[in-house]
Amino acid sequence: MSPSPQVSELKQVANELRKTILKTIAHAGSGHPGGSLSMVELIVGLYWYALKHDPKNPEWSERDILLLSKGHACPAQYTAMAYQGYFPMEELKTLRRYPTRLQGHPERGKLPGIEMSSGSLGQGLSMANGIAMADRLNKRDRRIYCIMGDGEIQEGQVWEAAMTAPHHNLSSVTAIVDANQLQQNGPVKNNQGIEPLADKWKAFGWHTIEIDGQDIEQVIKAYDECKTIKDKPQAIIARTKKGAGVSFMELNPAWHGVAPKPDELEKALAELEAAAN
């Protein structure tokens, strides 16, 4: 594996990914920009830093596993995968265009490098636990990362899985909560409050780290810390903004699942270009 990139380089990668995510969703005419943009740094920190993976051999037996439980945000994962070489960049233009491999929610078996079919929320952490338990039986040493949304963790199944992992000492599991503050129909706190998040995960027996999820340096430090924990699963509470990086999308629930129009895309790209300079 290549040496770890510098934080400044990762920031540049995150900016480029945001541009490409927006172009891809705009070209498709549909998709979920808000939740894709909020998790960009989390995804960059994995594919460019923490995740043990091989784009030329997606089924490599020693690879780490990334489960995107908040499957509607797959444009962020697809874009990272394209940049990493899992498939040609040109294929991003097929997002949501049947019979594309890049469906609106990820499908395992359709696209090499996708580890679970997701879209129905709340299932990813249970899947992570199952893989970790199987790895223990198979004496396989690798990490399983599961990205969830804060609205998603209103699902009861998440908390059943949150009890299960510490009970079985599944220290290879890292839960990442993209706490971007909004869900489809408004602020998470107005629909069903989930705070205090860090205290809850700690109470369930997880090694818990709370970070600014838009700060790539904090993100990679959290991933490093998780790898040092050998006696319990880890939870990263990443405080983010839905639509992060584009002022008129940030914390605006209208951008949950709407593609930008040409003039909106131009405005967003100009903001991101200015931020890069």
pLDDT tens-place string over residues 24-37: 999 999 999 999 99
pLDDT at 198 over 60: yes
pLDDT at 5 over 90: no
191 within a domain of the structure (yes/no):
yes
> What's the CA gap between 274 and 241, in Å, rounded?
19
> What's the CA gap between 205 and 235, in Å, rounded?
10
2 within a domain of the structure (yes/no):
no
**What pLDDT is stored for residue 6 in this prediction?**
86
Domain CATH number, residue 177: 3.40.50.970
271 within a domain of the structure (yes/no):
yes
- Model confidence at 1, in pLDDT bands (50, 70, 90)? very low
186 within a domain of the structure (yes/no):
yes
> What's the CA gap between 100 and 88, in Å, rounded?
13
Nearest to 223 by CA among 2, 1, 7: 7
Average pLDDT estimate for 236-247: 98
54 within a domain of the structure (yes/no):
yes
The structural domain count of the chain equals 1
256 within a domain of the structure (yes/no):
yes
133 within a domain of the structure (yes/no):
yes
Helix (H, G, I), strand (E, B) or coil at 133: helix
1 within a domain of the structure (yes/no):
no
What is the overall mean pLDDT for the chain? 96
Helix (H, G, I), strand (E, B) or coil at 207: strand
For residue 98, what are the domain limits? 7-276
Under a CB-based contact definition with an 8 Å cutoff, are residues 198 and 210 in contact? Answer: yes
Angle formed by the axes of helices 156-167 and 124-137, nearest 10°: 20
